């Protein structure tokens, strides 16, 4: 048997009402009351201007006034409150926005309006709108000012967007008056970046201009700043005429001058942060893997074979997908060869088990191999080292049966395409390591003759 609910148990009818225009009408009503000076309970005194307001509206829109009027401060009881932190025009714009939810942002007021909105902790919408406007209207004449503002206000978007713009337009931006007012920290951010798109001659001139703008205070920063200019990538004649002849720079940075001269004489033999190319140069550093062994798939029994592939990656965290093929070596199924880099990108391969005297040069820019003069002594399991433009073939095995290990060193002169006898090792070595540091060749470890 069904039970019929009584009248008291039945839900009472209801209607939810929401008028979208109510908030707009409320703001309009408050604006009308303010314009007629009705029910106004506080006057903001800015410079010589008085702005009529309502405490509750300011506190609702703005963290600064909420703290002022809601935490027992004396301003909560005062009829007139003096504001020193912004101009009367900016405070008026912010108050008008509180009443109307409207504000007109222009080139002339955008920066001051953003600073005012940030200081008074106005609703994020006005800060976001100012930030968008400033980022959307970037140009050479204002990008550095806006970079400074973004940095000062810790506004990430307003700092990162102008920063990217300045990176691309550095040559022009460095000619503007605002460049001379950059903080040292922002200047370092710019000139240390791989993304900076400007010739190193321009970077050098800009840094010198920044220093000379206030020599007394900034001269002490020269060393730190010059370490970030990539002198090895300058035009040689410009470096000799403009940099090497600068007595102040030579005294402050003698090692940087000598490093550049050495790099220009023997490209690729000097490694420092300054020899790292910026992206705008079109050059990129790469990791290259030459030969070695590889394991074939399970369909052939996971057999290991010698590889003649040369692979390359630009990634600092390589994975299977980042390696690309450059070329293949001139000999197949070989091992025991030695490798060196000539200049910045030419790869030299010598010796090996199969062709013990052969020497090959791969020119990456031309994607071609060429045969160089053969070594005087057939050898494998040796090492190549490059010092002051000469290539040293060091040690190695010269006979498999019976096994004979050599201490002999021969030196290759590329200009003559010829090998000559060098100073031998103190004792025979194979499968050793070799490295160049400060004008010396170091030979490490390996296996002796016994």
Q: Which domains does the chain have, with CATH numbers?
A: 23-137 (3.30.710.10), 138-283 (1.25.40.420), 286-328 (no CATH), 336-444 (2.120.10.80)
> What values do phi and psi take at 137, rounded to 5?
-115, 30
Give strand pairing partners of 397. Answer: 380, 405
Quote the CA–CA distance of 110 and 173 in Å, as a whole number. Answer: 20
Please name the helix (run of DSSP H) or strand (run of DSSP E) that holds residue 172, with its range, or none. Answer: helix 170-173
Contacts of residue 8, defined as CB under 8 A and 6 or more positions apart, other chains included, come to none
Round to whole Å and give the CA distance between 94 and 235.
53
Distance CA 383, CA 395 (A): 7
Q: Which residues, other chains included, contact 87 with Cβ-Cβ below 8 Å and sequence gap of 6+? A: 46, 47, 112
Show pLDDT as tens, one digit a residue, over the chain (450 residues): 566 666 666 677 888 777 777 777 777 777 777 777 777 788 899 988 998 888 888 888 888 889 988 887 887 788 899 999 889 999 999 998 888 888 999 999 999 999 999 999 987 888 899 999 999 999 999 999 999 999 999 999 999 999 999 999 999 999 999 999 999 999 999 999 999 999 999 999 999 999 999 999 999 999 999 999 999 999 999 999 999 999 999 999 999 999 999 999 888 888 899 999 999 888 888 899 988 887 776 665 667 777 888 999 988 888 888 999 999 887 776 788 999 999 888 999 998 876 689 999 999 889 999 999 999 999 999 999 999 989 999 999 988 888 899 999 999 999 999 999 999 999 999 999 999 988 899 999 999 877
Q: Rounded to an integer, what distance in angstroms lies between the CA atom of residue 443 and that of residue 450?
A: 18
Residue 136 DSSP one-character state: H
Long-range contacts at 245-249 (CB < 8 A, ≥ 24 apart):
248/222, 249/222
Distance in angstroms (rounded) separating the CA atoms of residues 237 and 119: 51
Is 349 in contact with 337 (CB distance < 8 Å)?
yes
Yes or no: say if 418 and 397 are a contact pair by the CB < 8 Å rule.
no
- What sign for the dihedral angle of Cα 318, 319, 324, 329? positive
Under 8 Å between Cβ of 167 and 187: no
Give the per-residue pLDDT at 376: 94
Q: Which positions ≥6 away from 221 have C-beta within 8 Å?
A: 184, 211
Contact assessment for residue 337 and residue 347, using Cβ atoms and an 8 Å cutoff: no
> 376 Cβ partners below 8 Å, 6+ apart?
357, 410, 419, 421
Alpha carbon distance 250, 258 (integer Å): 9
Q: 292 — alpha (psi -120 to 50), left (phi > 0) or beta?
A: left
In this structure, are residues 414 and 370 in contact, taking their beta carbons and an 8 Å threshold? no
Provide the b/e sequence for 231-245 (b: ≥16 CB within 10 Å).
bbbbeeebbeebbee
Q: What is the pLDDT of residue 405?
A: 93
- CA distance linking residue 113 with residue 10, whole number of Å: 57
**pTM to 2 decimal places:** 0.76
* Beta-strand relationship, 42-46 and 80-83: parallel
Residue 176 DSSP label: S
């Amino acid at each position: 048997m069904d039970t019929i609910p009584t009248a008291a148990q039945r839900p009472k009818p209801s209607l939810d009402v929401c008028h979208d225009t109510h908030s707009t009408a409320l703001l309009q009503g408050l604006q009308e009351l303010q314009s007629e000076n009705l029910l106004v309970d506080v006057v903001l005194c800015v410079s010589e201007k008085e702005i009529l307001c309502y405490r509750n509206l300011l506190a609702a829109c703005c963290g600064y006034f909420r703290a002022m009027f809601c935490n027992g401060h004396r301003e909560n009881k005062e009829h007139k409150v003096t504001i020193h932190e912004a101009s009367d025009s900016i405070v008026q714009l912010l108050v008008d926005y509180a009443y109307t939810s409207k504000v007109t942002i222009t080139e002339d007021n955008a920066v001051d309006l953003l600073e005012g909105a940030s200081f008074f902790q106005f609703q994020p919408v006005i800060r976001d709108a100012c930030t968008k406007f400033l980022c959307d209207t970037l140009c050479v004449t204002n990008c550095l000012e806006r970079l400074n503002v973004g940095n000062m206000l810790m506004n990430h978007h307003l700092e990162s967007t102008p920063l990217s713009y300045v990176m691309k337009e550095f040559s022009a931006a460095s000619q503007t008056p605002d460049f001379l007012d950059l903080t040292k920290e922002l200047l370092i951010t710019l000139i240390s970046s791989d993304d900076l798109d400007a010739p190193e001659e321009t970077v050098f001139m800009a840094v010198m201009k920044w220093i000379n703008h206030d020599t007394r205070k900034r001269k002490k920063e020269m060393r730190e700043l010059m370490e970030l200019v990539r002198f090895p990538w300058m035009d040689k004649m410009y470096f000799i005429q403009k940099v090497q002849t600068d007595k102040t720079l030579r005294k402050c940075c003698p090692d940087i001058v000598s490093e550049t001269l050495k790099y220009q004489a023997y490209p690729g033999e000097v490694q420092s942060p300054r020899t790292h190319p910026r992206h705008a140069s079109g050059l990129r550093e790469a990791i290259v893997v030459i030969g070695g062994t590889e394991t074939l798939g399970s369909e052939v029994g996971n057999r290991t074979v010698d590889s003649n592939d040369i692979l390359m990656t630009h990634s600092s965290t390589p994975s299977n997908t980042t390696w690309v093929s450059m070329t293949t070596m001139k000999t197949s199924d070989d091992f025991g060869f030695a490798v060196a880099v000539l200049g910045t990108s030419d790869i030299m391969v010598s010796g090996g088990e199969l062709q013990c005297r052969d020497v090959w040069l791969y020119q990456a820019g031309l994607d071609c191999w060429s045969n160089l003069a053969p070594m005087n002594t057939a050898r494998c399991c040796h090492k190549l080292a490059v010092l002051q433009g000469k290539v040293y073939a060091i040690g190695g095995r010269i006979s498999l049966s019976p096994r004979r290990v050599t201490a002999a060193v021969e030196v290759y002169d590329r200009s003559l395409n010829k090998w000559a006898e060098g100073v031998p090792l103190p004792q025979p070595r194979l499968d050793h390591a070799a490295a160049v540091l400060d004008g010396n060749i170091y030979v490490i470890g390996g296996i002796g003759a016994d």
